[in-house]
């Protein structure tokens, strides 16, 4: 079997990360349409969206071990298929019950693909000595950005039930071709054929790194909240309709990409630990101040409020850009387990915490307003400095 050059392998991984973001985020900018089709309130929709965490939890708990058992290639192939299939259902259904089950499968497929592709990224990083995880995460964000632009352009032109299925099926074909091309370098199945991963073994082998898990969720929950609520917030709270309502999310994602691709230029001048402290304070403060001003001082001037939100979201994206990948790199450095297992273990804690926080945000928004609900991720970012000592191992 031919061996890929390191450059070609990295290029294929870059494309896979890009397509991963392009596909799974394709429906997010059109959440207002999804919510309307399901006839749900903010609280109901937020709760239903959070059910994807159930599938993610199962997947994160087991897929790292499954990768060790059967290898990365098979997991990526199966996950790619289910991502396309479930997104097709989610973008077409009017039934909350069908949405519930499809969203659980969607969450499981996301986590399976996430674990596998990141395990391969860490494998490449370890083999070559090149720090590429933050860059690869940036390409995921680039895919999310492109799909946000596309959705914003298509929102009044092509129905959701045509846009998403056509896109994800095209992505599926490309992903399967790339996975096949990467086969020579993909992590192989564990050579010990007597190794069996039973539920008891998974539970006994589970490890919980508290400083990493709490630091990670505080660092990245704003990204989750922006994915779920940014477009709805802009439309319902600020009063901006049509394709322009996706602009704050696009700007947030754009600055996040910029940060992930450029953070390494700062590292010779400042330690990663101290940079994370400054960046999290910048991100949290910018987000909270912009949301507060937009809904209080500028509540009667939607255009100026929209401008303030765009600026605040831009700084929040820039400041939080590298925090998540950095905490994941620290988790891998601090653990004795293979990267696929580490990603799964950290992901289990992360998804449980995210599930709880998503419900809190959703029902806070329902009981008060979405503006109040979105203060939560901003406050969490301000707590990141308490966990940055974990980054000394990076």
Per-residue pLDDT of the chain (394 residues; tens, 9 = 90+): 567 788 899 999 999 999 999 999 888 778 888 888 888 887 788 788 888 888 888 887 777 778 878 889 999 999 999 999 999 999 999 999 999 999 999 999 998 998 899 889 888 888 887 778 888 888 988 898 888 788 877 877 888 889 999 999 999 999 999 999 999 888 887 644 444 444 454 454 556 678 888 999 999 999 989 988 888 888 888 888 776 778 888 899 889 889 988 887 887 788 888 999 999 999 999 999 999 898 887 777 888 989 999 999 999 999 999 898 888 888 877 777 666 677 777 877 887 888 889 889 988 988 888 889 999 999 999 999 999 988 876 6
Among 61, 121, 23, 31, CA closest to 328: 121
HSE toward the beta carbon, residue 209, CA cutoff 13 A = 27
**What pLDDT, on the 0 to 100 scale, is given for residue 172?**
96
Among 227, 230, 249, 209, CA closest to 350: 209
Q: Distance between CA atoms of 200 and 27, rounded to whole angstroms?
A: 37
Q: Taking a C-beta distance cutoff of 8 angstroms, is the pair 107, 86 a contact?
A: no
Residue 102 in tokens? 């499809």
Q: How would you label 337-364 residue by residue, b for 16+ Cβ within 10 Å and e otherwise?
A: bbbbbbbbbbbbbbbbbbbebbeebbbb
Residue 19 in tokens? 């397509």
Q: List CB contacts of 5: < 8 A, sequence separation 6 or more.
A: none
Burial class (CB in 10 A: 0-12, 13-18, 19+), 151: buried
What's the N-to-C CA distance of the chain in angstroms? 35
**What pLDDT, on the 0 to 100 scale, is given for residue 199?**
45
**What pLDDT, on the 0 to 100 scale, is given for residue 275?**
92
Q: Taking a C-beta distance cutoff of 8 angstroms, is the pair 46, 233 a contact?
A: no
**What pLDDT, on the 0 to 100 scale, is given for residue 126?**
80
**What pLDDT, on the 0 to 100 scale, is given for residue 2?**
62
**DSSP class of residue 374?**
T
Domains with residue ranges and CATH for the chain = 6-188+201-393 (1.20.1250.20)
Radius of gyration of the chain (CA): 20
Q: Taking a C-beta distance cutoff of 8 angstroms, is the pair 247, 148 a contact?
A: no
Answer yes or no: pTM beyond 0.75: no
**What pLDDT, on the 0 to 100 scale, is given for residue 17?**
95
**What pLDDT, on the 0 to 100 scale, is given for residue 194?**
42
**What pLDDT, on the 0 to 100 scale, is given for residue 207?**
61
């Amino acid at each position: 079997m031919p061996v890929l050059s390191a450059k070609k392998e990295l290029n294929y991984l870059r494309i896979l990360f890009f397509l991963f973001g392009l596909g799974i985020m394709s429906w997010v900018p059109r959440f207002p349409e999804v919510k309307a089709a399901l006839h749900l309130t903010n609280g109901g929709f937020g709760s239903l969206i959070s059910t994807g965490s159930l599938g993610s939890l199962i997947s994160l708990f087991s897929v790292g071990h499954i990768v060790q058992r059967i290898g990365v290639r098979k997991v990526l192939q199966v996950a790619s298929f289910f991502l396309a299939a479930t997104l097709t259902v989610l973008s077409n259904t009017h039934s909350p019950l069908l949405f519930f089950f499809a969203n659980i499968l969607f969450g499981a497929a996301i986590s399976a693909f996430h674990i596998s592709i990141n395990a391969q990224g860490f494998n490449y990083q370890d083999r070559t000595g090149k720090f590429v995880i933050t860059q690869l995460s940036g390409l995921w964000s680039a895919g999310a950005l492109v799909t946000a632009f596309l959705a914003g352009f298509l929102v009044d032109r092509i129905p959701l039930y045509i846009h998403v299925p056509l896109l994800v099926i095209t992505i599926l074909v490309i992903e399967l071709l790339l996975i096949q091309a990467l086969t020579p370098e993909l992590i192989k199945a564990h050579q010990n054929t007597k190794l069996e991963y039973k539920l008891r073994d998974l539970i006994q082998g589970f490890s919980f790194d508290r400083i990493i898990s709490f630091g990670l969720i505080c660092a990245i929950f704003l990204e989750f909240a922006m994915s779920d609520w940014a477009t709805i917030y802009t439309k319902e709270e600020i009063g901006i309709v049509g394709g322009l309502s996706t602009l704050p999310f696009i700007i947030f994602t754009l600055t996040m990409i910029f940060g992930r691709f450029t953070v390494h230029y700062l590292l010779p001048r400042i330690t990663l630990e101290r940079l994370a402290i400054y960046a999290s304070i910048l991100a949290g403060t910018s987000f909270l101040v912009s949301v507060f001003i937009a809904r209080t001082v500028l509540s009667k001037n939607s255009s100026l409020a929209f401008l303030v939100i765009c600026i605040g979201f831009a700084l929040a994206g820039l400041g939080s850009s590298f925090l998540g990948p950095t905490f994941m790199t620290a988790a891998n450095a601090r653990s004795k387990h293979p990267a696929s297992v580490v990603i799964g273990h950290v992901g289990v804690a992360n998804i449980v915490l995210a599930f709880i926080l998503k419900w809190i945000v959703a029902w806070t928004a329902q009981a008060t307003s979405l503006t109040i609900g979105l203060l939560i991720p901003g406050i969490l970012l301000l707590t990141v400095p308490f966990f940055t000592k974990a980054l000394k191992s990076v």
